[in-house]
Amino acid sequence: MRRFLSFNDFFKEYFNGKTVKLSLDGGFTCPNRDGTLSKRGCIFCTDKGSGEFAGNRCESISEQIDSQKDFLLKKWKAQNFIAYFQNFTNTYGDLNSIKSIYDEVIKRDDIKGISIATRCDCLDKEVLKYLKELSEEKLLWLELGMQTTNEKTIKLINRGYSHKVFDEKVNELKENNILFLIHAIFGLPYENKTDYIDTINYIKNIYPFGVKFHNLYICKNTDIYNMYRKENFDLMTREDYIETIIYAISNMPKNTVIHRITGDPDKRSLFEPKWCADKLSVISEIDKELKNRNFDVKTKEDIKEAIDYWL
Ligand code: SF4
């Protein structure tokens, strides 16, 4: 048991066994990459659409599920699987193509839930109606990249829509009882502690089902790599990141599930900061600090309370 409400502890209790995500490639693109909004993408986005470890898009979804399950059954002895559509924008395109992907997953009994990464400007009424129907059949949540609440940074990183759009959409999701997770990045160019606190406070007030945090890292095949080489802006130190993440954990709503507390860059393309290549050591340092600062270990009762709250 961790000293925060972790993905592992939450789903182990809910599904009564180890639960893992299968990273699938639904063959989507993104309006911020295909030229609809821009061809650059968010400046940190890689050519894999920010999903370095997703399956092979040349295979059908069922083939990807089968091959990843094989691998993870051996590695983790996992009993429960979540279909995770991570890369690009997984609700972008015409409704029939979107349906053809998720209808294939929903009918599989071996898949306990679906996690769909997308953008808040790619969730129109029709898509929301469809997702709501799916969520009544199977556990489903959306993963929404917010990254920051600072409008100046949002423009700088070329997100392609404002925080106002994000805020309106998450409120609509709440009204529709569609679960969502918010993704935030600390250490974006020219941001400081005040920005991180604003982002954390926003998440706290929204009270999402889940959150994912990581620090900004620079991969070689991205726009931000060129920007960093030119402007040499400050990157977050390991110590500052650990302080910020502890502040974030201590400010999360009681029942919000913390899915991630570090990034997971592809080591072959990571440029800076080098410290985040060693994910396990960062996690262990965060755990050590939480213990030193007397954060309570989450009990089974805490986890059950969160499960009752959401599911
Ligand atoms: S929204 Fe996602 S896929 Fe699209 S450009 Fe940004 S990071 Fe890349």
CA of 45 to the centre of ligand 1 (A): 6
CB of 219 within 6 A of ligand 1: the answer is: no
CB of 183 within 6 A of ligand 1: the answer is: no
What is the CATH architecture of 7-310?
2-Layer Sandwich (3.30)
Mean per-residue pLDDT, 69-73 = 84
* Helical packing angle, 7-15 and 300-310, nearest 10°: 80
11: β partners: none
Query: What is the per-residue pLDDT across 114-125, written as a single tens digit (0 to 9) for each?
Result: 999 999 999 999
Percent of the chain with pLDDT over 70: 98
CB of 41 within 6 A of ligand 1: the answer is: yes
Query: In the predicted model, what is the mean pLDDT of the chain?
Result: 95
Q: Quote the pLDDT of residue 50.
A: 63
Q: How far is CA 158 from the centre of its chain?
A: 18
Tokens of 210: 């889940």
Kindly report the protein residue whose alpha carbon is nearest to atom 6 of ligand 1: 42
Report phi then psi at 62, rounded to 5: -65, -40
CA of 309 to the centre of ligand 1 (A): 31
CB of 89 within 6 A of ligand 1: the answer is: yes
* pTM > 0.85: yes
CA of 88 to the centre of ligand 1 (A): 6
E strand map for 119-245:
139-147, 179-186, 210-215, 218-219
CA of 32 to the centre of ligand 1 (A): 6
Q: Quote the pLDDT of residue 51.
A: 60
Kindly report the protein residue whose alpha carbon is nearest to atom 5 of ligand 1: 41
CA of 295 to the centre of ligand 1 (A): 35
